[in-house]
Chain A
Amino acid sequence: QVQLVQSGAEVKKPGASVKVSCEASGYTFTNSYIHWVRQAPGHGLEWMGIIDPSGRGTTNAQKFQGRVAVTRDTSTSTVYMELSSLRSEDTAVYYCARAAAYSSMTFDYWGQGTLVTVSP
């Protein structure tokens, strides 16, 4: 079965960087895009970016341009999201989500989420 397993919770200081991993299994890794979405405490969902694991590139939301880097390692079927210059407003649960094969603009499987806390 399809699974996306994310790395554990992180606590970072303002100005630092964080790198969250998302290991995929149960399907052909290079066949489906992976998205990153975050959810600040008590708030809604916010789309951050997308990567094509086959190597055809990434696209990020303008809000995160210059601060986010999404990469992948095909040998381990893992996608990484690194967010730099962290500030308190970046405290959130970060999710990876797979684009559905039957509808590429739909997120059909989600990771369990990774809580990133930014605190002095």
Chain B
Amino acid sequence: QSALTQPPSVSGSPGQSVTISCTGTSSDVGRYNRVSWYQQPPGTAPKLMIYEVSNRPSGVPDRFSGSKSGNTASLTISGLQAEDEADYFCSSYTSSSTSLYVFGTGTKVTVL
């Protein structure tokens, strides 16, 4: 089971919007609406930001939004803030015989 593909890094100035892509296959992202996004500041545990493609858990700012088209899911951060600087990972349920879940390769978001 290969990892989902994310860009290594994206950057933006405060107030701008950035979008992170997460590309999988018809066995995972394309097949299930079970895509989640996690934020991981350096040296800390991941934090859930988006679940089931576009849902935000309680407490997550509405600046964070998710979407999906075909085999690619996306996370958009609008009105970028300094505190958003972190690594972001996507994950998806998968029909693979080798694993139930697959994670993305990770994207470093830098606030300029």
Beyond A44-B89, A46-B103, A47-B100, is A106–B45 a contact (Cβ under 8 Å)?
Answer: no
Q: What is the interface size of chain A, counting residues whose CB is below 8 A from a CB of the partner?
A: 24
For B, the interface residue count at a CB cutoff of 8 angstroms equals 27
A20 within 8 Å of B (CB atoms): no
Chain B hits for A44, CB < 8 A? 3, 89, 103-106
Say yes or no: A106-B100 contact (C-beta < 8 A), given A44-B106, A45-B46, A95-B45: no
Q: Is the CB of B48 within 8 A of A106?
A: yes
Interfacial residues of chain B within 79-101, with CB under 8 A of chain A in the complex: 89, 91, 93, 97-101
Using a CB–CB cutoff of 8 Å, the interface residues on chain A facing chain B are 35, 37, 44-47, 50, 59, 61-63, 95, 97, 100, 102-103, 105-108, 110-113
Report B's interface with A, CB cutoff 8 A.
1, 3, 32, 34, 36, 38, 45-48, 51-52, 55, 57, 89, 91, 93, 97-106
